[in-house]
Amino acid sequence: MLTIRAIVSEICSAPLPANGGGQTMQAEKRERWMRLCVEAADEQDSNRLLELISDINRLLHENRDAAQKCAAGSNGICHRS
């Protein structure tokens, strides 16, 4: 049975998928995502861990939504600024 820490570790070891956003925004999201992952891996308080996991999940959903929007609006070709 996987533990919460093992799941967080698995999610955070995968690269954040690229989306159609600008490189600066993508770099800021990636940095935030990695900080959240590091913090979640060491968090002992279950309420705080849940907050961190929720933030990680939100960033992943935002990234997925942006990639889908970009692909739908540009025939799958997304340009970065």
Over residues 7-65, the pLDDT tens digits come to 777 777 766 555 545 555 577 888 888 899 889 888 889 999 999 999 988 988 888 88
Say if 60 falls within a structural domain: yes
Say if 77 falls within a structural domain: no
Say if 56 falls within a structural domain: yes
Say if 47 falls within a structural domain: yes
The count of domains in the chain is: 1
d(CA 66, CA 72): 10
Residue pointed to by tokens 């849940």 = 50
Confidence at 1, pLDDT banded by 50, 70, 90: very low
Question: What is the DSSP secondary structure assignment for residue 45, as one 8-state letter?
Answer: -
What pLDDT is stored for residue 45 in this prediction?
92
Q: Is 19 exposed, middle or buried (0-12, 13-18, 19+ CB in 10 A)?
A: buried
Say if 80 falls within a structural domain: no
Instruction: Answer yes or no: pTM beyond 0.85.
Output: no
Q: Which domain holds residue 3?
A: 1-10+24-67
Say if 72 falls within a structural domain: no
> Residues 6 or more apart from 29 whose CB is under 8 A from it?
16, 21, 59, 62, 63
Taking 50 as the threshold, does the pLDDT of residue 72 lie above it? Answer: yes
Say if 50 falls within a structural domain: yes
Choice between 80 and 11, residue whose per-residue pLDDT is larger: 11
CA angle at 58 for the pair 57 and 60, rounded to the nearest 5°: 65
